[in-house]
Structure 1
Amino acid sequence: MASLAACSFVALNIFLLFLAAFAGRDFYKILGVSKSASLNQIKKAYRKLAKELHPDKNPDDEEANQRFQDLGAAYEVLSDSDKRKKYDKHGEEGLKKGDMSGDPFSSFFGDFGFFGGGREESREIPRGGDIVMDLDVMLEELYSGNFVEVLRYKPVAKPARGTRKCNCRTEMVTQQLGPGRFQMTQQQVCDDCPNVKMVPEEKLLEIEIEPGMRDGQEYPFVAEGEPHIDGEPGDLRFKIKQQKHRKFERRGDDLYTNVTITLQDALSGFEMDIKHLDGHLVHVVRDKITWPGARMRKAGEGMPNYENNNVRGQLFITFDIEFPKGTLTEEEKEEIAKVLKQDSKQVVYNGLQSRFFA
């Protein structure tokens, strides 16, 4: 008895050592979410904490900077389904060493049975198909964020009369053909289950359009896809389809727009305001000559970055010149020549390649 107790004590200590080695940082605790949190909940928690702990808001706080780095590491793992599975199974240390098949503790203790019986083979649960649907989203919504409601008619299993064959599988059956003679054959075996019928039910889904979301990005609803009569339903995924905008073009996190000005503004300078996607005004000042195709950059006036809303892209403004129509008198032409102080000059070149050749 004493020997058995000593062995159990040693085994328990070894187990605790292994547990400490494989545990690492608690990413769920860092993000402040439960282990069953959805991807959307993880993203919300990250965005909220990233704004609070960002180094720009805490320039002299080393603790906040370290928490911000831990927050980034936690989000990187928990927002990736494959990494999250490995983390849940092996902890942070398991991520560094790559995926390890089976339980790390059982591989050490073998089949001594300190912590329970042997393994049971689990049969794979059948799963319904995934559904992917396009969701048209305006650029204003991708800039500021929004909530969209979608009505979903989902087939739901309801009890019906009778029974049905279910959980069908192939098993090996041994038949004795005679003394010392056996034959093994495959045979389909099914269970008898209560009968069900699929009835469509109305369900309202709320989709959060998060600031900085990108065209083609998917928003998942777990278990809202096609049902499976003997298993689990698939997932429903909405794919963001960014709509074309009348004033702005998006490229990554940057925005592009064009402004047409008069020739007088181009020569004399001007001031103007551009109404942005959320309604705020971007002030533009030009106190020098503006040539056709001139481009101005406004830092921080682009789209918010999806991973970190504290970071924003840039707004690029390209100017076009509207020339006056009509005919000038000889006196007006002479006055313009005096003001511009330019001689008449024409250059012919290949605009699709280069104006100058080596």
Structure 2
Amino acid sequence: MLKPTMSSDYYETLDINRTATDADIKKAYRSLALKFHPSTNTEAGSAEKFCQLGEAYDVLTDARTKAIYDRFGEEGLRAGAPPESDQDDVWSSQYIYHGNPGKTFRQFFGSDNPFAHLADGLMCKGVKMQDPPIERDLHLSLEDLFNGCTKKIKISRRFMNECGGTSSIKDKILTLDVIPGWHEGTRITFPKEGDQGPNCIPADIVFIVREKTHRLFVREHDDLIYKTQISLEMALTGFCVDIETLDGRLISIPINAIVHPTYKKVVTGEGMPLSQNASQRGNLIITFDTKFPKSLNPESKRLIKQALHV
């Protein structure tokens, strides 16, 4: 007959004695699983401990596996316990833990959130919890983000009446000051501007900046990319690029270099303002799309060869 083995003591893992009741086992698992949950405990060894707790709970809360473990230890679980009598030659099936302590945790708590049960407890005690944030996209033009502006946004929200027992829907205007240089994804929060309710704290309303496509410029971080089409003659002999800026100025940029396929003209300080310091700006980067002639007559070819002959 197999002898109990103490190579892996589930009772010790849960810090309980071998006379512990089912309630004691669950109480111990609740406390230790919260303590060693990976989302709240990043100390070395905590993940391994969390897995050990899951296996110990899985074994000791099942009457069959607990009985086998109590009698034959871990070896009996892994190899299968022998038959109970000479008339019965069937060994019990081998026990293998599924290896997913998160699954065990979800089955026990009903959630992946290790503190969800605390939130439920607070609600039962009458403590108000805040509703999750309400997120809305705020579509802004590149001019809005370059110059800054003020946006008036109308929302409809539920207000509790003074008596506290009834509510009504009212419109409210939120004023949002756009700071020059804001980036795509910037979040602007209006605290507690969501619906009011008798048992909750109104949610925050969060606007998320979304940048509209521009007809002339493409933004890359704090730089502005401007693409212009030129002829081969212009690429070889020089020219000026006239650009209307986002703040309404007209600037003329001379191009005196040979415009080869990878050439870019960088104009310092003509990009987007920096949101941390609007007096500083990124760069304007001009790229070029050179159009080649579809055909050349013999005389034109001769003259080009003559001009390019070194």
Give the TM interval when normalised to the shorter protein. 0.5 to 0.7
Query: Which residue among 137, 154, 162 is the counterpart of 2:140?
Result: 137
- Aligned-residue RMSD, C-alpha: 2.1
Residue identity opposite 2:183 in structure 1: R
1:74 counterpart residue number: none
Q: Secondary structure at the match of 1:317?
A: strand
Is 1:331 matched with 2:299? yes
Answer whether contact 1:138 1:242 (CA < 8 A) is retained: yes
The corresponding residue for 2:158 is: 155
Aligned to 1:205: 174
- Consecutive unaligned residues of structure 1, counting only runs of 5 or more, are 1-121, 160-193, 343-358
* Residues matched between the structures, number: 186
**Structure 1: how far apart are the matches of 2:165 and 2:131?**
16
The Cα shift of 1:150 comes to 1.3
State the partner residue of 1:222. Answer: 191
Amino acid aligned to 1:308: N
Distance 2:263 2:288 in 1: 5
Q: Tell me the amino acid that sits aligned with residue 288 of structure 2.
A: F
Do the aligned residues in 2 keep the contact of 1:127 with 1:227 (CA within 8 Å)?
A: no
Show CA shifts across 1:89-117 (max 9, x none): xxxxxxxxxxxxxxxxxxxxxxxxxxxxx
Amino acid at match of 2:227: N
* Cα distance, 1:128–1:228 mapped onto 2, change above 3 Å: farther
Structure index of larger Rg:
2
- Which residue of 2 is the match for residue 295 of structure 1? 264
Task: Give 1:259-298 correspondences, 5 Å limit.
Answer: 259-298=228-267
Instruction: Please give the TM-score of this superposition, normalised by the length of structure 2.
Output: 0.56
Q: Distance in 1 between matches of 2:164 and 2:175?
A: 32
Question: Higher strand fraction: Structure 1 or Structure 2?
Answer: 1
Do the aligned partners of 1:157 and 1:196 also contact (CA within 8 Å) in 2? Answer: yes
- Shift in Å at residue 284 of structure 1? 0.9
Q: Deviations over 1:232-285 (max 9, x none)?
A: 312111110111112111111111121111112111111232111111123211
Q: Deviations over 1:1-44 (max 9, x none)?
A: xxxxxxxxxxxxxxxxxxxxxxxxxxxxxxxxxxxxxxxxxxxx
Instruction: Name the amino acid aligned to 1:205.
Output: L
Match of 1:251 in 2: 220
Distance 1:341 1:261, change over 3 A: same
C-alpha distance in structure 2 between counterparts of 1:294 and 1:261, whole Å: 13
| Among 177, 195, 201, the residue aligned to 1:232 | 201
Q: Which has the higher relative contact order, 1 or 2, with Cα contacts under 8 A spaced 6 or more apart?
A: 1
**1 CA distance for matches of 2:196 and 2:132?**
7
Are the counterparts in 2 of residues 133 and 237 from structure 1 also a CA contact under 8 Å?
yes
CA offsets per residue over residues 112-154 of structure 1, 9 Å max, x none? Answer: xxxxxxxxxx995432332110011111100001111111111
Distance 1:241 1:290 in 2: 34
DSSP-derived class of the 2:259 partner = coil
Q: Secondary structure, in 3 states, of the residue corresponding to 1:257?
A: strand
